[in-house]
Amino acid sequence: MRVKGEHEIYCCGARVRISEKGVEVLSEPLVEYCPLHEALYGTKKIDAQEVRKSVEKKIAGFGFCCANRLFNAEPLVAYGASEMMQFWLEKGLIDCAVVVCEGAGTVLTFKGSLVQAIGARLTGIVRTSPIPEIITRIRKEGGMVLDEKTAAIDQVAGVKKALYLGFKRVAVSVAGFKAEAISEIRSLEAKEGADVLIFSVCNTCIDE
């Protein structure tokens, strides 16, 4: 599996850059242990080296940040944001989900399987760059990329787009390090008379 473009994520509170040159851990992780991380990657104690190894496993195992990324909609945990959004979409409890995918940025979809396929193994994406093959796959699976040219991550604009398209019951994921978007989304919700369910995700690295 070969990485395309350049991407930055948070993993266990550590900022990580992923590019064609490899995986670089830019800051120290903020947690020493995570039961889910151990279940997925066998990590007993988290440090910068283990963070790098786990990201490399995601690249090798399911094509994270690669053209041939796998889209597997099997549930990974019982309580994850993507698992819950998938369930609610499939039961008709919400109309649309606004999520983030590496290689695509902000994505809108009414397909529960796509939400889960995108989000199952993701951690907080700080920035990403377009990967045409991922964008094409998202379109094929029933998703809409907010900005195909730049792969921008803008959850406020994603909710605006969903409301413009006529969706009234919208779920959106907002990373903790972009929590300022929440108040903007709530203002949109009130203005449009919509119902917006906000998932605050990837909160390991947040402070006051």
Alpha-helix residue ranges (DSSP H) falling in the chain: 35-41, 48-62, 81-91, 112-119, 132-140, 155-164, 181-192
Q: Which two tokens stand for residue 148?
A: 């195909």
Residues 159-181 pLDDT 10s: 999 999 999 999 999 999 999 99
Predicted confidence (pLDDT) per residue in 59-114, tens digit:
999 999 999 999 999 887 878 899 999 999 999 999 999 999 999 999 999 999 99
| Tokens standing for residue 168 | 């009234």
- Confidence (pTM): 0.94
Q: How far apart are CA 179 and CA 200, in angstroms?
A: 8
